[in-house]
Structure 1
Amino acid sequence: MTQIGIFGITGRMGRLLSEETTAAGATLAGGTSRSNPATTPDTLAAAADALIDFTNAEAAITHAEAAARAGKPFVLGTSGLNAAQEAAIAELAKRIPIVYAANFAPGVNLILAIAERLAAALPGETYDAEIVETHHRQKVDAPSGTAIALGRAVAAGRNTTLEQAGIESGRDGHTGPRKTGAIGFAALRAGQVVGEHTLLFASGSEHIALTHRSFDRRVYATGAVRAALWATSQPPGLYGMKHVLGMA
């Protein structure tokens, strides 16, 4: 029976991951927490067959390195990683299978695939792309990882990158006209919204909107456990949920 270790096991996501590990028929190998410093990343990695991390960007590399030292698959759902941290994850994926996803909900990953196809058919010269996301007031990063993934999907559909297309966010005051081809972001933080994302394509004559709403964080935990079980039979490499879902 697969043993799954959870970094940050006493947190909000950690508790759900524990429950979903059992529900999936796997065994909980344990977890790290601030209240139990005796369990280190290395001791957890040694005890588990696969590891899941939904903690924070600062800790993600330390946890991934522990997984690599132990030769164990690593599932990363933490958002807010910068370019250097993402590069470090990609380097570690040469040694172990790593599933790194902005969102583990199956519906979101279908939206990402559709977004890329729509962007390919709706050129930036005539269709502006805007992404609006809403999350709970405790969320510390913006735009959300899922919003950025949507932006990257739009850019990929248009044969460019998000950085090359240009990002428009935080509009305030006299900003001038919208840059053609840029991808816009708006982040809302209020109450206890689990997660809402809308991608809008707007031309002078029509609007097309894709929206995904999460009502329960458990959907992320279920997907992450599914990814961990899948990763135990994969070779080293950097994977996403599209691979877990058989979409790649």
Structure 2
Amino acid sequence: TRGMLAKSYEAAFAARIFEQIKGFGSYGFPESHAASFALLTYASSWLKRHEPAAFACALINSWPMGFYSPDQLLQDARRHTLQTRPVDVRHSGWDCSLEPFGQAQPAIRLGLRMIRGFREEDARRIEQVREAEPFLDVHDLGRRARLDARALELLADAGALRGLAGHRHKARWAVASVEPQLPLFAEGTVIEETTVSLPLPSRGEELLSDYALLGTTLGPHPLKLLRGQLKARRCRDSRELAKLGHGRPIRVAGLVVG
């Protein structure tokens, strides 16, 4: 208030103005913070309502951010009947993308970024060489995209080679037969491996591999595989909870997501 007094303002007036400024300082930042978030919330709500596929796809590509994991976002997308497609080296880029689908909303194609430990530079090479010509098999993929054994193993374990080699067990067998490429034999003939009949992975194996490599699954919800065991242990499902009385002890099961 000294500056105001020096300019001949009355002390009572100066004190009143100071108190008003001090009061605004206690809520000025929250007010502006709330206003900016209100705009973001409005825009997000509009996108979620009118362009849910693009909204979910963008959120996954922006992860890590916010409170929701890709698994939660994809489970929500599926509950809202959005089509989701798996990681596939024949179609996936680094980012998740939108693909034409015969419905109002496009399908969400999971990107190679979903594979834990997979390098972006490897994904970019896959994108680049695939534009020139589709991959013939796992050997062709490894040679043209210059992928090392680690990258091929990650693709196999993530189920991303299904279109080139079959299910995960077959894909793992296929990548094991890819020899390191040496300059002298860069254009050499690929040695044909003996065909081996391998069993299909069980639903449990697929689920474990999905969560270990991708952090999500496009298969059945994990609890669906345990439904029988949970009922045997008298666990209640979410549909039953509203019908139960207050204060009654019950047993439930769920998936820890964060």
Q: TM-score, normalised by structure 1?
A: 0.29
Q: Point out the structure with max Rg over C-alpha.
A: 2
Q: Which has the higher contact order (CA 8 A, sep 6+)?
A: 1
Q: TM-score, normalised by structure 2?
A: 0.28
> Which has the larger share of strand?
1
